[in-house]
Amino acid sequence: MFIKILLTVIFLAVTVYVGIYSRKQAKSVDGFVLGGRSVGPWLTAFAYGTSYFSAVVFVGYAGQFGWKYGLSSSWIGIGNAIIGSLLAWIILGRRTKLMTQHIESRTMPDFFGTRYNNQGLRIAASIIAFVFLIPYTAGVYKGISKLFEMGFGIPYEYCVIIMSLLTAVYVILGGYKATALNDFIQGIIMLFGIVTIIAAVLNTQGGLSSAMEKIAAVPSDANPAVNGQFGSLFGPDPWNLLGVVVLTSLGTWGLPQMVGKFYSITDEKAIKRGTIISTIFAFIVAGGCYFLGGFGRLFSGSLQFVEKNGVMVPSDFDSVVPSMLSGLPDILIALVVLLVLSASMSTLASLVLTSASTMTLDLIYRDKKSLPGEVEEGTIDDMVSEKVEKRKVIVMRVLIVFFIVIALMIALNPPTFIAQLMGISWGALAGAFLAPFLVGLYWKKVTTSAVWACFAWGVGLTVVNMLTNNAIANPINCGAIAMVGGFPIVILVSLFTPKMRQSYVDNIFKCYSKKM
């Protein structure tokens, strides 16, 4: 216990120190939200990866989908690395950096308002982002607290409150630069931790080959006379597995806290290096998490089960991974705690910063601005006084506390499993934002009406499914449907609705004709 407490205290002390160290760079809005748009490739890549993978993945998703799909759940990690990291950086990175810098956009709702010349879109997007980032944050709190409860014996409620306070401290002090520096430190811990933990857990089963033989011998849920499905290449349910891959991989392309990382990176050369770093990070961390979760059925002795549709399943999927780790030596338990702390605090910091910044900049202080070379009626000079800048930063800090309190209340009484919380959040956000954001970076003919239609589609489908007790599909598959379905909606509605003024759109897209 002394080792666990000592390592945790050192980690938390470093985290708070980074917040104090970075506070001088968090006095302006650009400094607080984007780190001055001068964050290098290593910090940006690690910030992207650590914001992507949290306790939601390590505890919630690895446990639930490892149990359902066995070793084939590793495909989720591979999809996260190739689609969620590699392709996201290649397709979104450069164009997002260039266009958002050209139109002086600081948030995703700001992008929608300026790119489509409609402040209503900006307001709607900021409300959607704020509301649907809350369940994701609650899921992260729940995941990290489950591990703390297992490792330290501290009641779940106290764990949630402690984590929320610590996250608030370093984000409020240092803003984005503090989160990026901490993400780098936390990312290194995650890389080392996941490799070590996998080796330790498999060693308890006699090594890799022995563990794979044991998981292949586990009988099928549908037919106890059949075994081998949980050790097979595509597992017992490849179609639902595909839905998880789509949700967790493609979803990052439409999440404000993920896309925002491209706003702050220094230049095009940094984007190329960041692409490689981020992809390798995702392969190791995400691939490792789901590979480890695939062996969950070998550690079911301490789990409680309930009958569902004639099949015995764990009463709490979020307890699967803690049960796998509970028998490890204290020093490794300490490493697990640090691993999940690192993954979760970085994600929490990104979520609360994104929520507070979009509420402040897109609802409370909604500055109008003109594009370079563009003079519009009703626009004003976007050079604001230093006094107003400081006021905006103060408001963001207050909203960070407000957002954390709301998420904390949900986490103290979570309505469902972690995986479902994330499915609701990602489905609504990426369902609404992904298609109009991505297509809007490449195609000049996207219309304002098409964006409104996609907002209604993503949020509407998710909310209706939730209110009808998942009558359309489970939250995971519903989220995947919402994301993919947004693309035909944006394209078809754009073809049949009034086009934006050509000179305005041309002015936005001219940023791609010059090198940064």
| DSSP per-residue letters across 182-193 | HHHHHHHHHHHH
Q: How is residue 87 written in tokens?
A: 């392709």
Q: How many CB atoms lie within 10 A of CB 145?
A: 28
Expressed in percent and rounded to 5, the helix, strand and coil fractions of the chain are 80, 0, 20
Q: What six digits make up the tokens of 426?
A: 């990602």
Rounded (10°) CA dihedral 58, 471, 480, 96: -100
Q: How far is CA 427 from CA 315, 459, 465, in A?
A: 24, 8, 11
What percentage of the chain carries pLDDT values higher than 70? Answer: 87
Digit-coded pLDDT (tens) for 479-503: 889 999 999 999 999 999 999 999 9
pLDDT recorded at residue 406: 78
DSSP 223-261: -TT-B-GGGSSS-S-HHHHHHHHHHHHHGGGG-HHHHHH
- What are the CA-CA distances from residue 320 to residues 88, 206, 316, 331 (Å)? 31, 20, 8, 20
- Cα R_g (the chain), whole angstroms: 22
Cα separation, 254 vs 476, whole angstroms: 16
CB count within 10 Å of CB 210 equals 12
Summary count for the chain: helices (H), strands (E): 22, 2
**Cβ neighbourhood burial of 212 (10 Å; 0-12, 13-18, 19+):** middle
- pLDDT of 373 reads 53
Tokens 């306790």 locate to 55
Of 421 and 352, which is predicted with more confidence?
352
Q: How far is CA 444 from the centre of its chain?
A: 28
What distance in Å separates the CA atoms of residue 283 and residue 288, rounded to the nearest whole number?
7
Distances (CA, A) of 401 to 288, 397, 406, 425: 33, 7, 9, 20
Walk me through the domains of the chain, giving residue ranges and CATH numbers: 2-23+33-371+383-415 (1.20.1730.10)
**Cβ neighbours of residue 412 closer than 8 Å, sequence gap 6 or more:** 157, 160
**Predicted confidence (pLDDT) per residue in 115-142, tens digit:** 999 989 999 999 998 888 877 777 776 6
Question: Could you tell me the CA-to-CA distances from 503 to 119, 382, 508, 509 in Å, in that order?
Answer: 19, 21, 9, 10
Local confidence band at 379 (pLDDT 50, 70, 90 cut-offs): very low
Question: What is the pLDDT at residue 14?
Answer: 82
In this predicted structure, the answer to whether residue 225 has a pLDDT above a threshold of 50 is: yes
What 3-state DSSP class applies to 444? coil
Look up residue 212 and give its two tokens.
């794979």
- Scan for tokens 């980690």, then name that residue: 11
pLDDT of 318 > 70? The answer is: yes
Q: pLDDT grade, residue 384 (50/70/90)?
A: very low
- Longest CA pairwise span in the chain (Å): 73
Q: How confident is the model at residue 328 (pLDDT cuts 50, 70, 90)?
A: confident
Q: What tokens does 347 get? A: 């994600």
The yes-or-no verdict on residue 239 having pLDDT over 50 is yes
212 or 181, which is more confident: 212
CA separation for the pair 2, 461 (Å, rounded)? 49
Q: Smallest Cα–Cα separation from 214: which of 226, 222, 206? A: 206
CA distance 477 to 461: 11
Query: What is the pLDDT of the chain when averaged over all its residues?
Result: 82
Contacts of 278 (CB under 8 A, 6+ apart): 45, 46, 48, 49, 85, 86, 89
- Which residue matches tokens 């959607």? 128
Burial (CB < 10 A; 0-12, 13-18, 19+), residue 498, is: exposed
* C-beta atoms surrounding 158 within 10 Å: 13
Whether residue 280 has pLDDT greater than 80: yes
Q: Which residues partner with 439 through β-bridges?
A: none
CA dist 36 and 174 (Å) reads 12
Unique residue bearing structure tokens 């597995």: 241
Check residue 25 and report its DSSP letter.
G
**Residue type present at position 343:** A
Residue of 304 and 411 predicted with greater confidence: 304
Q: What percent of the chain has pLDDT over 90?
A: 27
Q: Is the pLDDT assigned to residue 290 strictly greater than 90?
A: yes
